[in-house]
Amino acid sequence: MKSMYSIKKNIYIFFLYFFLIFLLIFDLVFTKYQYTHTFFIKRNQYLNDITTNLYKEKIINNKFFFKLTVRLTLAEKVLKAGEYKFYNNNIFQIIKKIKIGDTFQRKITIPEGLTSNEIIDIIKKTEGIVLNQKGSKQIFEEGALFPSTYFYVYGTNSNIIINNMKKRMKSTLIEAWKNRDKDLDLNNYNDVLILASIIEKETSLNYEKSGIAQVFLNRLRLNMKLQADPTVIYGIENELGIKKKELTKNDLNHKSSFNTYLIHGLPKGPICNPGKESIIAVTNPSKGDLLYFVADGEGGHNFSSNYQKHIENVKKFKEFSMEKYGN
Q: How many CA atoms lie within 13 A of 226 on its CB side?
A: 25
Residues 6+ apart with CB under 8 A from 87: 35, 36
Strand ranges (DSSP E) for 155-291? 156-157
pLDDT in tens, 46-70: 999 999 999 998 888 888 888 888 8
- Angle, CA 227 vertex, CA 223 and CA 229 arms, to 5°: 155
Run of H or E residues at 107: strand 106-109
pLDDT value at residue 221: 96
Residues in the chain where the model's pLDDT stays below 50: 29, 135
pLDDT value at residue 140: 80
> What is the greatest pairwise CA distance in the chain?
105
| Number of residues that make up the chain | 327
Residues 6+ apart with CB under 8 A from 287: 214
User: Exposed (0-12), middle (13-18) or buried (19+): which is 164, by Cβ within 10 Å?
Assistant: middle
Q: What ranges do the domains of the chain cover?
A: 12-100, 106-166, 177-290
In the CATH hierarchy, which top-level class contains the domain 12-100?
alpha beta
Rg (C-alpha) for the chain, rounded Å, is: 30
- Angle, CA 113 vertex, CA 157 and CA 260 arms, to 5°: 130
CA–CA gap between residue 27 and residue 15 (Å, rounded): 18
pLDDT value at residue 21: 67
Output the CA torsion sign for 180, 182, 188, 192.
negative
pLDDT value at residue 176: 98
Residues 6+ apart with CB under 8 A from 184: 217, 282, 283, 285
Nearest CA-CA partner of 271 in 303, 223, 225, 239: 239
pLDDT value at residue 29: 45
Output the CA torsion sign for 221, 227, 232, 234.
negative
